[in-house]
Amino acid sequence: MYSQRSLTQTLRPGRRGFSLVEALVALTIMALAGSVLLLSVESSLETTTDAVDRTIADGIAQQVLDQALTEKYTESAGSGLTLLEILGPLGPAADELLGVGTSLFDDVDDYAGYIAQPVKDEYGEVLGTGDDSGGLRSTTFRIPSGFFQQWRYRVKVYYVDASDHRTESSSATAYRAIEVFVEKLGEGGRVIPLASRKRIVTYLPPPAS
């Protein structure tokens, strides 16, 4: 026969389960580990998105710069004119502003002070929607609506010192700097720089006849 003591020992398990406190501690540790994992994933996604944005922005800056550099250095030309008369003030003429986008710009300085928000092609269409000839591409091949809504690019054209191209000149010289800045507008109007490109160009007078 079993005694009362031996029967109790037989019925009682040799190992206890988790207590409520232990379970809560385990859940807390799992929750903290999950939070750290989610933060890590979020940070990784933000880093990837930022890298993609900067790559796209650099391409836009280079494209706008290349577009400007395909134009003439100056509209005015002719014998007997001084350098200042040839170069003239920077900026587009009144009739050049009548076009859509930059379609009527025909020399480099027309881009001085130009701002496009959202970023647009030379025909004034939002980048990624135009067909490069003034029309719209098929909806199947357009970027998502609003992708560039908070993006902008601005162009700065200015004279630089003839002997030091890093120094902006207050008077006309034979050297100009063209800078393109691509930016994104964040909350509260905060400007987030994404990319910039710069080029120095010079004026070469036509050969004497």
- What percent of the chain lies above the pLDDT cut of 90? 30
The pLDDT value recorded for residue 183 is 96
Highest mean pLDDT of the ranges 116-120, 131-135, 136-140: 116-120
- Tell if the pTM clears 0.75, that is, is over it: no
pLDDT reading at 23 higher than 80: no
CA distance 90 to 88: 7
pLDDT tens, residue by residue, 103-115: 899 888 899 999 9
Quote the pLDDT of residue 9: 54
Higher pLDDT, 86 or 142: 142
The rounded distance, in Å, linking the Cα atoms of 6 and 8 is 5
Say how far apart CA 79 and CA 93 lie, in whole Å: 22
Asked whether the beta carbons of 179 and 148 are under 8 A apart, the reply is: no
Rounded CA-CA distance 73/64 in Å is 16
SS3 115: strand
Give how far Cα 10 sits from Cα of 13, 17, 19, 115, 183, Å: 7, 17, 22, 86, 76
